A and B are shown apart, each in its own frame.
Chain A
Amino acid sequence: MTATVTALRTMTMVAAINDALALALERDPAVHIFGEDVGVMGGVFRATDGLQARFGAARVFDTPLAEAGIVGMGIGMGLAGLKPVAEIQFAGFLYPALDQVLSHLGRYRHRTRSRYHLPMVVRAPYGGGVHTPEQHADSPEAILAHTPGVKVVIPSTPRDAKGLLLAAIEDPDPVFFFEAIKLYRSVKEEVPEGHYTIPLGQARVVTQGDDVTVITYGGMVEVAQKAAAAAQAHGIGVEVIDLRTLVPLDTETLLASVQKTGRAVIVTEAPRTGGFHSEISAVIAEEAIEFLRAPVVRVTGFDAPYPPFTSVEDVYRPHPVRVARAIRQVMNY
Chain B
Amino acid sequence: MTRSRTSKKASSPAASSAAPDPALPDPHAAGAAAYAQADAQGELFQLIAPDGTVTHPELLPDPATRLALYRQMRRVRHFDERAWVLYRTGRMGVFPPYGGMEASQVGTAAALTPQDWLFPTYRDTGAALAYGLPIPQTLAYWRTSPHGWAMPQNLKILPFYIPIATQYPHAVGAALAEARQGTRNVAMAFIGDGGSSEGDFHEALNFAGALNASCVFILQNNGWAISVPTRAQTKATNLSRRADGYGIPGVRVDGNDVLATWHVTREAVERARRGEGPTLIETVTYRIKPHTLADDPSRYRTDADNAGWDAKDPVTRLRAHLLAGGHLTEEEDAQLTREIEAEFEAALAEADAFPEPTPAEILDHVFAEPTPQLARQRAQILAEEGA
Tell whether A109 pairs with B366 under 8 Å between CB atoms, given A64-B210, A66-B207, A99-B166.
yes
A69 to B171, CA, bound (A): 11
Contact indicator A76/B163 (Cβ below 8 Å) = no
Contact indicator B181/A81 (Cβ below 8 Å) = yes
Residues of B within 8 A of A110 (CB): 364-366
Residues of B within 8 A of A247 (CB): 371, 373
Most-contacted residue by chain A among B117, B167, B367 (CB, 10 A):
B367
Residues of A within 8 A of B152 (CB): 115
Shortest Cβ distance from A117 into chain B, in angstroms? 7
Residues of A within 8 A of B367 (CB): 109, 149, 151, 172-173
Shortest Cβ distance from A285 into chain B, in angstroms? 16
Contact indicator B150/A76 (Cβ below 8 Å) = no
A191 near B: Cβ within 8 Å?
no
A68 near B: Cβ within 8 Å?
yes
The contact of A69 among B149, B169, B178, B371, by CB within 8 Å, is: B169
Binary interface encoding of chain B residues 369-380 relative to chain A, with 1 for a CB under 8 A from any of its CBs, else 0: 001110000000
Residues of A within 8 A of B146 (CB): 113
Shortest Cβ distance from B110 into chain A, in angstroms? 22
Task: Give residues 78-120 of A contacting B (CB, 8 Å).
Answer: 78-82, 84, 96, 99-100, 103-104, 109-117
Residues of A within 8 A of B149 (CB): 111-113
A277 near B: Cβ within 8 Å?
no
Residues of A within 8 A of B11 (CB): none
Residues of A within 8 A of B167 (CB): 104
Contact indicator B173/A84 (Cβ below 8 Å) = yes
B386 near A: Cβ within 8 Å?
no
Most-contacted residue by chain B among A64, A80, A110, A117 (CB, 10 A):
A80
B188 near A: Cβ within 8 Å?
no
Tell whether A111 pairs with B173 under 8 Å between CB atoms, given A73-B207, A100-B166.
no
Shortest Cβ distance from A40 into chain B, in angstroms? 15
Most-contacted residue by chain B among A68, A81, A99 (CB, 10 A):
A68
Contact indicator B159/A76 (Cβ below 8 Å) = no
B176 near A: Cβ within 8 Å?
yes
Residues of B within 8 A of A58 (CB): 180
B177 near A: Cβ within 8 Å?
yes
Most-contacted residue by chain B among A96, A113, A248, A252 (CB, 10 A):
A113
Tell whether A149 pairs with B169 under 8 Å between CB atoms, given A66-B206, A69-B203.
no
B168 near A: Cβ within 8 Å?
yes
Tell whether A72 pairs with B180 under 8 Å between CB atoms, given A84-B173, A113-B4.
no
A186 to B373, CA, bound (A): 34
A68 to B200, CA, bound (A): 7
The contact of B203 among A72, A115, A116, A252, by CB within 8 Å, is: A72
Contact indicator B173/A80 (Cβ below 8 Å) = yes
B83 near A: Cβ within 8 Å?
no
B199 near A: Cβ within 8 Å?
yes
Contact indicator B210/A116 (Cβ below 8 Å) = no
Task: Please name the residue on chain B nearest to A251 by beta carbon.
Answer: B372
Tell whether A72 pairs with B151 under 8 Å between CB atoms, given A109-B367, A113-B365, A117-B368.
no
Task: Please name the residue on chain A nearest to B175 by beta carbon.
Answer: A76
Binary interface encoding of chain A residues 243-270 relative to chain B, with 1 for a CB under 8 A from any of its CBs, else 0: 0000111011000000000000000000
Contact indicator A73/B173 (Cβ below 8 Å) = yes
Shortest Cβ distance from B358 into chain A, in angstroms? 14
A278 near B: Cβ within 8 Å?
no
Task: Please name the residue on chain A nearest to B209 by beta carbon.
Answer: A64
A84 to B285, CA, bound (A): 37
A252 to B372, CA, bound (A): 10
Task: Give residues 254-304 of B contacting A (CB, 8 Å).
Answer: none
A75 near B: Cβ within 8 Å?
yes
Task: Give residues 173-230 of B contacting A (CB, 8 Å).
Answer: 173-178, 180-181, 187, 199-200, 203-204, 206-207, 210-211
Tell whether A80 pairs with B174 under 8 Å between CB atoms, given A69-B207, A99-B166.
yes
Task: Please name the residue on chain B nearest to A32 by beta carbon.
Answer: B180
Shortest Cβ distance from B162 into chain A, in angstroms? 8
Task: Please name the residue on chain A nearest to B362 by beta carbon.
Answer: A110
Contact indicator A115/B153 (Cβ below 8 Å) = yes
Residues of chain B touching chain A, judged by Cβ–Cβ distance below 8 Å, are 4, 117, 146, 149-153, 156, 158-159, 163, 166-178, 180-181, 187, 199-200, 203-204, 206-207, 210-211, 364-368, 371-373
Residues of chain A touching chain B, judged by Cβ–Cβ distance below 8 Å, are 32, 58, 61, 63-64, 66, 68-69, 71-82, 84, 96, 99-100, 103-104, 109-117, 148-149, 151, 171-173, 201, 247-249, 251-252
